[in-house]
Amino acid sequence: MTTQEMKIAFEQAYGHKAEKIFFAPGRVNLIGEHTDYNGGSVFPCALSFGAWLLVAKNNDRVLRFRSMNMQEVYEIAIDAIAPQANRAWCNYALGCIDIIARRHPEAKLESGYDLLYYGNVPAGAGLSSSAAMEVVTARAFTEEMGVSYADDKKYRTELALIGQACEHEYAGVMCGIMDQFASAQGKKDHAIHLNCDTLEFEHVPVKLEGIKVVITNTHSPHHLDSGAYNDRVRQCHTAVEQISKVKPIKFLAELTEEDWKEVESAITDPIAKKRARHVVGEVARTSAAVEALKKGEIAYFGELMTASHVSLRDDYEVTGPELDALAEAAWQVEGVLGSRMTGGGFGGCTVSLVKDEAIEKFKAFVGAEYEKKTGLKADFYVAEIGDGVSRLE
């Protein structure tokens, strides 16, 4: 799909031309899983997949929502913006417009708008099509509503916060900040080392000579549902409470692996102990992985990715048979430096570092093993690390 084709679709849908086009990417997290809500760091990068948004003003004081990916069409009066029932897809956009108005007293929605979305992030694969949609909407409507920032980094962080608030309030998902942040602050050929507590971050070049980041989609119907997610959040809180009797902490991510040896016996709940052990280990692995990448120690980076998967499988228990089948097959392929689940877990994707010459073998072997074990067909994408949100035209 080219932007030219999107413009034609816009004109066919609305009978007039689009005035502007925006793009925001999906993301893949290289390492640092389930650390974000524990005050830890994450290491995602923006992809070249994402969401496009074409907009033009209308004279009708309504917001018209269409998506080239969806059947449903919505029309909402600009004076009646509120969450829509039945998991309406327009919530991911409408919420951003509402939140811009609430966070920025100077913001004014002066007219109605016609909107057309197109997305090419594989659906429900944990590569954050929702964040792409939110961030592209936040980018477009901050501009349309007259919100501006002198500092581009601060502007992008604000776009991420608008998107996250939308996801909480309009989609009912109490997500961390990683997805929207990566979509807003992405940089071509760089990953983002983000502290999810302070929102301090650094762009780290991803220089992988002769190696590619390969994303493999389980196409599994399983998801980390909000129940299982909230259980993990609660178990981590239990661990914090019990540890705080011997060493007061706010977040598990404050603990080093040395600290862990001293405090682990304070956790009496065995499940909470496993969850906490994952978080402490994952925080250490994420820092080590960032250092390894900076030094060009890609083999070590890969080992840390694999160790991350093992910990998510055994201690955090969020992998499931499909993600395990993919990772375990990948580890057997010569030329694979590391492989792990990425995103919340249970379904979604793995991310692997694969030498160029091994990619075809990787696809053939992992694809066949996966189908043998699960009866499902996997899909493979060689990731291109792209820029964050922007206005294209």
Residue nearer to ligand ADP on the CB measure, 70 or 233: 70
> Strands, DSSP E only, in the chain?
20-29, 41-42, 44-58, 62-67, 74-77, 112-119, 190-195, 201-205, 211-217, 336-342, 349-355, 379-382, 390-391
Residue 216: CB minimum distance to ligand ADP, A: 15
The one of ligand ADP, Mg ion, none whose footprint includes residue 316, by CB under 5 to 8 A per kind, is none
Using CA atoms, how far apart are residues 30 and 379, in angstroms rounded to an integer? Answer: 18
Residue nearest to ligand ADP (CB): 119
The reply to whether 130 sits near Mg ion by the rule CB under 5 A is yes
**Total interface residues for Mg ion by CB under 5 A:** 1
The one of ligand ADP, Mg ion, none whose footprint includes residue 83, by CB under 5 to 8 A per kind, is none
Residue nearer to Mg ion on the CB measure, 183 or 216: 183
- Close Cβ partners of 120 (under 8 Å, ≥ 6 residues apart): 1, 49, 50
Residue nearer to ligand ADP on the CB measure, 99 or 127: 127
Using CA atoms, how far apart are residues 144 and 135, in angstroms rounded to an integer? Answer: 14
Using CA atoms, how far apart are residues 247 and 249, in angstroms rounded to an integer? Answer: 6
Residue (of 100, 114, 29, 7) closest to 286 by Cα position: 29
The reply to whether 180 sits near Mg ion by the rule CB under 5 A is no
Three-class DSSP category at 71: coil
The amino acid occupying position 153 is K
Which residue's structure tokens are 């005050």?
39
Residue 12: CB minimum distance to ligand ADP, A: 17
Residue 65: CB minimum distance to ligand ADP, A: 8
- In angstroms, how far is CA 295 from the centroid of its own chain? 26
The one of Mg ion, ligand ADP, none whose footprint includes residue 133, by CB under 5 to 8 A per kind, is ligand ADP
Residue 96: CB minimum distance to ligand ADP, A: 12
CB 216 within 8 A of CB 316: no
Cα–Cα distance list, 88 to 66, 67, 99, 127 (Å)? 12, 12, 17, 20
Residue nearer to ligand ADP on the CB measure, 74 or 201: 74
Residue nearer to Mg ion on the CB measure, 179 or 315: 179
Active-site entry in 36, 98, 114, 179: 179
To the query of whether residue 179 is one of the catalytic residues in this protein, the response is yes
The one of ligand ADP, Mg ion, none whose footprint includes residue 100, by CB under 5 to 8 A per kind, is none
Residue 70: CB minimum distance to Mg ion, A: 15
Token output for 235:
């178990």
Given the rule CB under 6 A, which residues bind ligand ADP? Answer: 51, 67, 69-70, 89, 92, 117, 119, 121, 124, 126-130, 133
Which residues of this chain interact with Mg ion, rule CB under 5 A? Answer: 130
Positions annotated as catalytic residues are: 179
